[in-house]
């Protein structure tokens, strides 16, 4: 039985443990070879429960979506170790199987048991988006995949380190299944360094406070998170609210795919029921159940931002995902485009919550990471793969206009800077700018999307796009208007072309001097556009955010007097 702990000690230990996870994040960000981790911070670290795998502490710089999915990843290791009966101090497991650990196969997970005085105390884990893990498409976003094997090399949980001894055979397999072995080796070493750092910091913490006191703090933090969440729910009205939105298609069949949610609040409990969402699809917009549960957590954290980042938050929340749904796909269903689906899940949760608590939500953000890969060979024969994601407008809120050119609300990642991408790859950005007239109208408008035009500088290259919102605009809330849809063009000898499926395409052949052009969605608006001040509209026109014609169409002509 854990000892009780006083509030001051609890606060100190909470900060110390968060600092451990934060320092692990920073260690990997500084050591990683690929810009998706080093610059965009597509990674996460944390401490996890020794028996359940539940998230105890996560770093503030890591991706929120990993808070939930990594608990499933750690539980997969716990189950594997129990089956084999050979868990030991000095072990480290590695795997990327998304159906067991959530997200997609590009995210490589390392899980290490932490022992204290011969007893398992907790797990440390690291996850990072590797640049390339084999598969049919460089960068692994294959919009035409119909099974996981076409997306990437699939690795179940195996021991990378056994009782302190590196298993070189595992490393050899990993490096043979990537187009960029140097990048993969550097990222792997960075993740191992982060785990080593976390282990040392835990040793220091337990030396100072003792294992029982730290364990009591971890238990108390989970209980406190649950209490806070129940208090937040109790303050909201009881009721049921529905919302539905759509994905453009699955990359194979050009049919819209509904994602539905019913949000129900009863006292201090919440139900999120996704009955009525599309069944498992042929193409790679499916997600595994761990990812769906984690996505619900991310949406809840946006709605209740003061809640701590641990599993206690989800104890009063029942996430119901029907069997056979695209939100509970089983192996080997393709899941490479999970980002697009979880963004739409967040959108429908926000839309439903706006009817229950309009002061707590924002309108829909731009709703796609626009995973764009460009690959080829340099003049010396060396392969290159530029994978990146791109920003757009966030939704307006009760407090302010939406953020212009932000990153997706599934993460705290940053968009890699143009200068970094141009330095690393043979490309040139002809344009990197805000997209006028892309914001949803409202008392508080949405944020602006962006325009990116990327020219290839090598003799030839091939491009692959996995995006969304090419046919369904980001929605406003509380009477706000929709944001502009996603637009993609690619240059060919006969001129500029568009994909038949609007937002997804593979095998785009490019010559030197040809380019790709993305015009990303704006965010939805918040509140009735009639309530926006004429001065705010005039300011948007003056800044070039709105053309005069569009301003008059959306808000009337009063803004012209405010301009004078």
pLDDT per position as a tens digit, 50-71: 999 988 888 877 667 776 788 9
Tell me what the mean pLDDT of segment 372-389 comes to.
91
Question: Is there a contact between 391 and 405 (Cβ–Cβ < 8 Å)?
Answer: yes
Identify which has the larger pLDDT, 43 or 68.
Answer: 43
Report pLDDT for 230: 96
Report pLDDT for 227: 95
Report pLDDT for 559: 87
Q: How far apart are CA 453 and CA 333, in angstroms?
A: 33
Report pLDDT for 411: 67
pLDDT band at residue 27, thresholds of 50, 70 and 90? very high
Please, what is the average pLDDT of the chain? 93
Q: How far apart are CA 493 and CA 489, in angstroms?
A: 13
pLDDT in tens, 181-236: 999 999 999 999 999 999 999 999 999 999 999 999 999 999 999 999 999 999 99
pLDDT band at residue 139, thresholds of 50, 70 and 90? confident
What b/e readout covers 266-282, taking b as 16+ CB neighbours within 10 angstroms? eebbbbbbbeebbebbb
Q: Residues with Cβ < 8 Å from 375, sequence gap 6 or more?
A: 138, 139, 179, 383, 384, 385, 386, 461, 462, 463, 464
Tell me what the mean pLDDT of segment 128-153 comes to.
90
pLDDT band at residue 428, thresholds of 50, 70 and 90? very high
Write out the two tokens for 495.
Answer: 């001129």
Reported pTM: 0.92
Percent of the chain with pLDDT strictly greater than 90 = 83
Q: Residue 341's Cα: distance from chain center in Å? A: 10
pLDDT in tens, 258-308: 999 999 999 999 999 999 999 999 999 999 999 999 899 889 988 998 888
Report pLDDT for 387: 86
In a 13 Å sphere around the CA of 301, the CA atoms on its Cβ side amount to 25
Q: Which helix (H) or strand (E) holds 374?
A: strand 371-377
Write out the two tokens for 280.
Answer: 């498992």
Report pLDDT for 237: 95
Given a cut of 90, whether residue 412 has pLDDT beyond it is no
Given a cut of 60, whether residue 1 has pLDDT beyond it is no
Given a cut of 60, whether residue 398 has pLDDT beyond it is yes
pLDDT in tens, 449-460: 999 999 999 999
pLDDT in tens, 7-20: 899 999 999 999 99
What b/e readout covers 75-109, taking b as 16+ CB neighbours within 10 angstroms? bbbbebbeeeeebeeebbbbbbbbbbbbbbbbbbb
Tell me what the mean pLDDT of segment 146-175 comes to.
96
Alpha helices of 284-397 — where are they, by DSSP H? 289-303, 338-356
DSSP code for 480: P
Question: Is there a contact between 58 and 45 (Cβ–Cβ < 8 Å)?
Answer: yes
* Sheet with 504-511, side-by-side order of all strands: 383-388, 371-377, 460-466, 504-511
Alpha carbon of 258 to those of 124, 278, 289, 336, 388: distances in Å?
A: 37, 5, 17, 18, 27
Report pLDDT for 62: 67
Given a cut of 70, whether residue 564 has pLDDT beyond it is no
Alpha carbon of 424 to those of 390, 404, 419, 432: distances in Å?
A: 17, 26, 9, 17
Indicate the burial class of 3 (C-beta count within 10 angstroms; 0-12, 13-18, 19 or more): exposed
Given a cut of 50, whether residue 343 has pLDDT beyond it is yes
pLDDT in tens, 493-543: 999 999 999 999 999 999 999 999 999 999 999 999 999 999 999 999 999
């Amino acid at each position: 039985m854990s000892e009780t702990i006083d509030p001051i000690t609890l606060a100190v230990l909470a900060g110390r443990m968060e600092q451990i996870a934060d320092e692990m994040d920073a260690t990997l960000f500084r050591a990683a070879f690929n810009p998706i981790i080093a610059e965009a911070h597509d990674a996460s670290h944390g401490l996890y429960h020794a028996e359940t795998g539940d998230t105890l502490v996560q770093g503030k710089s890591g991706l929120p979506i990993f808070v939930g999915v990594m608990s499933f990843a750690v539980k997969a290791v716990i189950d594997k170790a129990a089956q084999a009966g050979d868990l030991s101090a000095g072990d480290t497991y590695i795997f990327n199987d998304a159906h067991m650990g959530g997200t997609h196969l590009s995210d490589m997970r390392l899980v290490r048991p932490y022992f204290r005085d011969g007893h398992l105390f907790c797990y440390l884990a690291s996850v990072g988006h590797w640049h390339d893990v084999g598969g049919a498409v460089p960068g692994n976003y294959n919009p035409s995949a119909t099974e996981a094997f076409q997306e990437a090399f699939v690795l179940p949980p195996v021991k990378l380190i056994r009782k302190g001894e590196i298993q070189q055979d595992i490393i050899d397999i990993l490096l043979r299944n990537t187009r960029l072995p140097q990048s993969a080796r550097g990222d792997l070493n960075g993740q191992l360094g982060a785990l080593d750092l976390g282990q040392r910091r835990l040793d220091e913490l337990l030396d100072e406070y003792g294992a029982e006191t730290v364990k009591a703090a971890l238990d108390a933090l989970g209980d406190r998170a649950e209490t806070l969440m129940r208090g937040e729910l109790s303050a909201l009205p009881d009721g049921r609210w529905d919302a539905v939105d759509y994905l453009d298609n699955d990359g194979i069949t050009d049919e819209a795919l509904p994602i539905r949610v019913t949000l129900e609040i009863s006292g201090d409990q919440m139900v999120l029921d996704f009955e009525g969402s599309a069944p498992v699809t042929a193409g790679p917009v499916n997600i595994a159940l761990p990812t769906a549960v984690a996505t619900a957590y991310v949406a809840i954290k946006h709605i209740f931002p003061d809640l701590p980042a641990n599993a206690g938050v989800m104890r009063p929340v029942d996430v119901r995902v029907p069997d056979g749904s695209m939100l509970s796909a089983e192996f080997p269903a393709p899941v490479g485009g999970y980002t697009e689906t979880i963004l739409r899940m967040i959108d429908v949760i926000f839309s439903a919550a706006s009817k229950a608590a309009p002061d707590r939500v924002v309108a829909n953000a731009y709703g796609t990471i626009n995973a764009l890969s460009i690959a080829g060979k340099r003049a010396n024969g060396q392969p290159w793969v530029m994978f990146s994601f791109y920003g757009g407008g966030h939704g307006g809120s009760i407090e302010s206009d939406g953020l212009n050119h932000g990153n997706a609300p599934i993460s705290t990642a940053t968009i890699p800077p143009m200068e970094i991408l141009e330095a690393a790859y043979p490309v040139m950005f002809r344009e990197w700018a805000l997209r006028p007239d892309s914001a949803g109208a409202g008392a508080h408008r949405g944020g602006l999307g962006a325009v990116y035009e990327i020219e290839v500088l090598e003799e030839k290259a091939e491009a692959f796009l996995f995006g969304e919102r090419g046919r369904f605009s980001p929605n406003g809330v509380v009477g706000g208007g929709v944001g502009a849809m996603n637009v993609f063009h690619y240059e060919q000898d006969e001129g500029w072309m568009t994909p038949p499926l609007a937002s997804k395409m593979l095998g785009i052949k490019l010559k030197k001097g040809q380019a790709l052009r993305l015009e990303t969605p704006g965010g939805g608006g918040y509140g009735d556009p009639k309530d926006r001040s004429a001065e705010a509209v005039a300011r948007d026109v003056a800044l070039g955010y709105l053309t005069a014609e569009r301003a008059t169409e959306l808000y009337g002509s009063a803004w012209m007097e405010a301009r004078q």
